[in-house]
């Protein structure tokens, strides 16, 4: 148990990782399977029972986390129950079978595909289940007479894979597939022409060196011209088309200089080929087109991924709502069809579908999505409710005041979308460098040719210019930065750090200001029992009482009791009877004939329990450490006391200390109460947290303002680490936004960097890796520049023969490639 606040010596535990999903789990011994929740345990045993342990060997990432009571939630069930109404197309096949495409949540790597397609064989009536990794979808072919999508979805849910309707972005995906294929077609043709034009070029240079018959030279020149021409007509057409559109609409575009360079090249080469004296550059032109097409493709992928994660984020409210009709009946409709003035019912465990006012009912709302605070707030009649908050305890009726993008949540998502789209992808660097490079080289070539024609004669001039054009290789310059970044990103992904925007990695090299969210980022974000004072034998009783209650505290006590007192679990399990519950006070009930009370001291006093002085002292100490206390009484006598809190992440202190020693300033940016933030800041003061920069009670909008202020007057980059939707706007606005896996919120993958293993040390690793990456890029640039300057000068002076130039050119590219791959970012064991 990573109890960082505890006074009493806590039992020695190593930090273990859940055997199924790989999430850090505080309990258990290292050599035995441990689980973060009973859902994961079920999935693990199910996989072992079926003899498919190979799954754990095949996978490269942790599996999906399974909810304890793995059943698909109400909304999805409603939709899956009636696919036609939800707009999902079910295609009837010839032999009475049906086929349907659904989205799968929780896919990580190829092993998931393997597991899902294995599970298919155990589900009756499911003929085939084919997963498509690229767009995270699954095609089910089933026999409608024997099974239905809901049953199948339930089976998959037990393993942690949730199925949901796929319609929302199926058009998008089809468009993506089509565009992706077009990019591939272009790259393939460009590669064919480039490769062939290049070896014809090599033959010409070799002929220049060793002698070639005029007929052969003439023939090779024309074949080269033909190949280069085809390269421009087919894969290269794209650049002329966009350049022409840009000229017509009078907007500057990168394709204009690219098209000018290409035109210059074509004109020169055509003249050379026709007159037989000048040079032909068709090999260079064809390879340039190939490089540009590859650059475009990478850019297209990056943009698509951004838009996809944004679409996911904006669909946070794809849930349904129960509307109360005028005649008192209830209908369940999609939340998008609500209007202001409608009355809706929100059951416990459901999310408010819109902003509104409570009309009737008393309950607690969980605000964690909006402000990251994990304590439920009580609400009653006339209180405002915000979309995105979750009802915890009792049914509420609400009158809707704002829906969709008008809600506070909707406006927040709009801020996120703006922040994320302001970012320009760094991939354009390849275009930028190569287009100027080409223009400069062509100018130099023309100059060299003229000079040498005046000084010597035309044939010497041609030879020198040819050497110059061959040796000038934009590949090394253009590829250095993207290559180093791609290699580093690949290595990071193997360590469960997913980097979407490579430029972010570069920005972390210089120390600046690092803001950290509190709940879920510095802490684990889950309420846990940190200490228990009392008899272990009453734990099963407390557990059976709390089991029937939907409350974070009850859940924490249940999981503590089941893990701490496994040996005292009674079979058959005990069942609590006559359970009653008072909001903000506690619960009462009967277990095996004994009256059990769990709650605040006040609750126990109200029920006539005498309070022990020893326990009072414990309670006071716990309060000074900002922990909540739950008293447990059996048959009118206090039998124990739970101390609950949100513990720090086990690696937080060490990571913070090392980050601050690198020169970073650390601040806390939290939606939680200021006193709690202050308390944590005091504790972490010696680890580099700045007390003056520990801000509490900051909602999503204020967090965004703090980030913008820091960016405006800060020195160095402004980075933010957060875990909730309430941090999303700040993450998108920061120079470097790092989302950390906490509340398992898929939406946060919209952040440029996503730490999937949920450890804070990954932030430290990122910073160290960033240094190596920036140094690596500089080394590659320097090497490439020096190389090009020296060889170009030598070529212009006529010291290099075209044949030697043809050999030297690939060596330059190869050097940069080797240097880029050898950059040791994310080295194991640092």
Partner 1 sequence: MSVLYVALPVALLLGGSALVACLACIRSGQYDDLDGPSVRLLNDELSS
Residues binding partner 1 (CB under 8 A): 54, 58, 109-111, 113-114, 117-118, 121, 130-134, 177, 180-181, 184-185, 188-189, 192, 196, 213, 216, 219-220, 223, 227
> CA-to-CA distance for 203 and 209, rounded, in angstroms?
10
Distance in Å, CB of 123 to partner 1, minimum? 14
DSSP 355-374: EEEEEE--EEEE-HHHH---
Identify the bridge partners of residue 92 per DSSP, sorted by sequence position.
Answer: 98
State how far the alpha carbon of 420 is from the alpha carbons of 533, 652, 721, in Å. Answer: 49, 28, 16
Contact predicate 136/129, CB 8 Å: no
Q: Between residues 133 and 569, which has the closer beta carbon with respect to partner 1?
A: 133
Distance in Å, CB of 241 to partner 1, minimum? 20
Q: Between residues 183 and 507, which has the closer beta carbon with respect to partner 1?
A: 183
Q: Between residues 58 and 254, which has the closer beta carbon with respect to partner 1?
A: 58
Distance in Å, CB of 52 to partner 1, minimum? 9
> CA-to-CA distance for 50 and 172, rounded, in angstroms?
37
Q: Between residues 7 and 223, which has the closer beta carbon with respect to partner 1?
A: 223
Q: Between residues 220 and 440, which has the closer beta carbon with respect to partner 1?
A: 220
Show the CA angle centred on residue 471, arms to residues 469 and 477, nearest 5°.
105
Total Cβ atoms within 10 A of residue 41: 18
Q: Between residues 48 and 181, which has the closer beta carbon with respect to partner 1?
A: 181
Q: Between residues 156 and 541, which has the closer beta carbon with respect to partner 1?
A: 156
Q: Between residues 180 and 628, which has the closer beta carbon with respect to partner 1?
A: 180
What's the number of CA atoms in the CB half-sphere (13 Å) around residue 428?
A: 9
Q: Between residues 121 and 577, which has the closer beta carbon with respect to partner 1?
A: 121
- From the list 136, 423, 177, 452, the residue with the least C-alpha distance to 306 is 423
Distance in Å, CB of 224 to partner 1, minimum? 11
> CA-to-CA distance for 381 and 396, rounded, in angstroms?
9
Distance in Å, CB of 98 to partner 1, minimum? 22
Q: Between residues 54 and 535, which has the closer beta carbon with respect to partner 1?
A: 54
> CA-to-CA distance for 520 and 374, rounded, in angstroms?
9
Distance in Å, CB of 185 to partner 1, minimum? 6
> CA-to-CA distance for 802 and 808, rounded, in angstroms?
10
DSSP 491-535: HHHHTTEEES-HHHHHHTTS--EEEE-IIIIIB-SS-EEEEEEE-
What is the three-class DSSP state of 534?
strand
> CA-to-CA distance for 720 and 308, rounded, in angstroms?
22
Distance in Å, CB of 220 to partner 1, minimum? 8
Contact predicate 530/644, CB 8 Å: yes
Distance in Å, CB of 147 to partner 1, minimum? 19
Total Cβ atoms within 10 A of residue 620: 10
Distance in Å, CB of 808 to partner 1, minimum? 26
Distance in Å, CB of 200 to partner 1, minimum? 8
Quick check: bond before 572 cis, omega within 30? yes
> CA-to-CA distance for 514 and 719, rounded, in angstroms?
5
Q: Between residues 110 and 460, which has the closer beta carbon with respect to partner 1?
A: 110
- The values of phi and psi at residue 338, to 5°, are -75, 155
Q: Between residues 85 and 133, which has the closer beta carbon with respect to partner 1?
A: 133
Identify the bridge partners of residue 91 per DSSP, sorted by sequence position.
Answer: 99
Identify the bridge partners of residue 331 per DSSP, sorted by sequence position.
Answer: 323
In the numeric block, the tokens 């933030």 are attached to 677
Total Cβ atoms within 10 A of residue 382: 8
> CA-to-CA distance for 375 and 246, rounded, in angstroms?
54
Distance in Å, CB of 134 to partner 1, minimum? 5
Contact predicate 627/645, CB 8 Å: yes
Cα 19 from chain centroid (whole Å): 22
Distance in Å, CB of 26 to partner 1, minimum? 33
Distance in Å, CB of 213 to partner 1, minimum? 7
Q: Between residues 113 and 269, which has the closer beta carbon with respect to partner 1?
A: 113
Distance in Å, CB of 109 to partner 1, minimum? 8
> CA-to-CA distance for 102 and 125, rounded, in angstroms?
17
Cα 371 from chain centroid (whole Å): 20
Residue 780 is classified by DSSP as H
Q: Between residues 219 and 799, which has the closer beta carbon with respect to partner 1?
A: 219
What's the number of CA atoms in the CB half-sphere (13 Å) around residue 515?
A: 33
Contact predicate 172/309, CB 8 Å: no
> CA-to-CA distance for 535 and 555, rounded, in angstroms?
20
Q: Between residues 193 and 642, which has the closer beta carbon with respect to partner 1?
A: 193
In the numeric block, the tokens 């939709």 are attached to 79
Name every residue whose Cβ is closer than 8 Å to that of residue 295 and which is 6 or more positions away in sequence.
427, 428, 430, 431, 478, 482
Distance in Å, CB of 110 to partner 1, minimum? 4
Distance in Å, CB of 208 to partner 1, minimum? 16
Q: Between residues 203 and 256, which has the closer beta carbon with respect to partner 1?
A: 203
């Amino acid at each position: 148990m990573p109890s960082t606040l505890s006074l009493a010596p806590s039992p020695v535990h190593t930090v273990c990782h859940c055997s199924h999903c790989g999430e850090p789990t505080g309990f258990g011994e290292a050599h035995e399977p441990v689980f973060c929740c009973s859902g994961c345990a079920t999935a693990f045993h199910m996989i072992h029972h079926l003899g498919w342990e190979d799954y754990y060997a095949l996978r490269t990432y942790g599996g999906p986390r399974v909810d304890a009571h793995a059943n698909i939630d109400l909304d999805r069930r409603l939709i899956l129950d009636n696919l036609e109404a939800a707009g999902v197309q079910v295609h009837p096949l010839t032999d009475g079978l049906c086929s349907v495409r659904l989205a799968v949540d929780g896919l990580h790597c190829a092993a998931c595909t393997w597991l899902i397609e294995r599970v298919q064989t155990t589900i009756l009536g499911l003929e085939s289940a084919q997963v498509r990794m690229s767009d995270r979808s699954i095609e089910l072919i089933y026999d409608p007479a024997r099974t239905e999508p809901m049953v199948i979805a339930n089976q998959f849910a037990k393993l942690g894979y949730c199925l949901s309707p796929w319609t929302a972005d199926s058009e998008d995906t089809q468009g993506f597939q089509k565009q992706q294929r077009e990019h591939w077609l272009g790259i393939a043709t460009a590669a064919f022409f480039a490769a062939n034009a290049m070896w014809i070029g090599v033959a010409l240079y070799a002929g220049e060196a060793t002698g070639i018959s005029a007929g052969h030279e003439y023939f090779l020149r024309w074949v080269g011209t033909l190949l280069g021409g085809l390269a421009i007509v087919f894969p290269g057409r794209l650049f002329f088309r966009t350049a022409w559109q840009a000229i017509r609409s009078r907007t500057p575009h990168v394709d204009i200089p690219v098209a000018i360079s290409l035109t210059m090249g074509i004109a020169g080469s055509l003249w050379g080929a026709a007159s037989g004296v000048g040079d032909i550059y068709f090999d260079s032109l064809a390879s340039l087109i190939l490089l540009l097409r590859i650059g475009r493709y990478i850019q297209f992928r990056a943009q698509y991924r951004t838009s996809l994660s944004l679409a996911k984020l904006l669909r946070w409210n794809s849930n349904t709502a129960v509307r109360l009709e005028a005649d008192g009946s209830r209908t369940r409709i999609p939340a998008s069809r609500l209007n202001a003035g409608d009355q809706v019912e929100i059951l416990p465990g459901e999310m408010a579908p819109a902003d509104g006012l409570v009309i009737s009912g008393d309950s607690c709302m969980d605000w964690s999505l909006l402000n990251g605070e994990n304590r439920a707030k009580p609400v009653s009649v006339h209180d405002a409710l915000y979309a995105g908050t979750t009802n915890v305890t009792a049914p509420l009726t609400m009158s809707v005041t704002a829906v969709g993008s008008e809600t506070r949540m909707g406006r927040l998502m709009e801020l996120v979308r703006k922040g994320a789209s302001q970012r320009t992808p760094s991939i354009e660097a390849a275009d930028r460098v190569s287009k100027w490079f080409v223009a400069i080289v062509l100018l130099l070539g023309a100059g060299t040719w003229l000079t040498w024609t005046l000084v010597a004669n035309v044939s010497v001039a041609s030879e020198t210019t040819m050497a110059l054009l061959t040796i000038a290789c934009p590949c090394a310059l253009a590829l250095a930065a993207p290559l180093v970044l791609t290699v580093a990103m690949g290595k990071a992904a193997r360590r469960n750090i997913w980097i979407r925007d490579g430029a972010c990695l570069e920005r972390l090299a210089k120390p600046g200001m690092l803001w950290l969210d509190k709940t879920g980022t510095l802490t684990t974000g889950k309420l846990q029992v940190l200490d228990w004072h009392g008899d272990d034998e009453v734990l099963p009783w407390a557990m059976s009482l709390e089991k029937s209650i939907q409350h974070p505290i009850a859940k924490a006590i249940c999981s503590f009791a089941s893990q701490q007192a496994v040996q005292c679990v009674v079979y058959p399990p005990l069942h609590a009877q006559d359970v009653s519950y008072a909001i903000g006070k506690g619960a009462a009930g009967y277990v095996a004939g004994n009256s059990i009370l769990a709650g605040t001291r006040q609750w126990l006093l109200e029920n006539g329990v005498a309070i022990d002085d020893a326990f009072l002292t414990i309670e006071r100490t716990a309060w000074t450490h900002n922990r909540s206390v739950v008293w447990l009484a059996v048959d009118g006598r206090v039998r124990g006391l739970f101390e609950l809190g949100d513990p720090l992440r086990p690696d937080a202190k060490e990571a913070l200390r090392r980050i601050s020693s690198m020169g970073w300033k650390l601040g806390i940016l939290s939606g939680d109460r200021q006193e709690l933030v202050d308390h944590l800041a005091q504790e972490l003061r010696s680890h580099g947290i700045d007390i003056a920069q520990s801000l509490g009670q900051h909602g999503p909008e204020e967090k965004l303002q703090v980030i913008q202020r820091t960016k405006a007057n800060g020195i160095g980059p402004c980075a933010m680490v957060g875990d909730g939707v309430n941090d999303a706007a700040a993450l998108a606005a920061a120079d470097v936004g790092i989302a950390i896996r906490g509340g398992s919120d898929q939406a946060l993958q919209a952040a440029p960097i996503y730490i999937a293993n949920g450890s804070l040390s990954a932030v430290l690793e990122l910073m160290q890796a960033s240094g190596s990456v920036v140094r690596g890029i500089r080394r590659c640039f320097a090497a490439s520049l020096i190389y090009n300057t020296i060889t170009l000068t030598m070529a212009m002076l006529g010291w290099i023969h075209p044949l030697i130039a043809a050999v030297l050119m690939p060596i330059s590219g190869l050097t940069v490639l080797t240097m880029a791959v050898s950059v040791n970012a994310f080295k194991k064991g640092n």
